[in-house]
Amino acid sequence: MTAPDTTTTQGMVSVMQAAAAGKPLQRRYRGLEFGWTDCALTDTWDWLNHDYRIRPAPREWCLYIHDDGTPRWQAWTSQSVGQGIHAREVLE
């Protein structure tokens, strides 16, 4: 999912609609490339000083050894079988 461009009115509306639908949000001080923090739903939006986004879901994947002995990557699903290393991305 591509994050909405919150420099536009439509992008701001998309984030606010997601918040109204109960999706988790994050914010950071405008102009920074880092520093996203979770924020609670609020009726007060500070678009002048903050960027907002829908909190991204962490990605998951599995590294497993195929029958021929070669390592393979695959998307993690509950249907995955066999021996493997399950990894989950840490988001800050």
Is there a domain that residue 4 lies in?
no
Phi, psi of 26 (to 5 degrees): -135, 160
Whole-number pLDDT of residue 16:
93
Q: Are residues 40 and 19 in the same domain?
A: yes
Do residues 48 and 62 both lie within one domain?
no
In order, the DSSP letters of 21-86 are TT--EEEEETT-SS--EEE---S---TTTEEEEEPPPPPEEEEEE-TTS-EEEEE--TT--SSEEE
Comparing 84 with 81, the larger pLDDT belongs to 84
Domain range for 78: 58-92
15-34 pLDDT, tens digit per residue, is 999 999 999 999 999 888 87
pLDDT top residue among 15 and 66:
15
Cα gap 17→44, rounded to integer Å: 14
pTM for the model: 0.65
Query: Residue 79 pLDDT more than 60?
Result: no
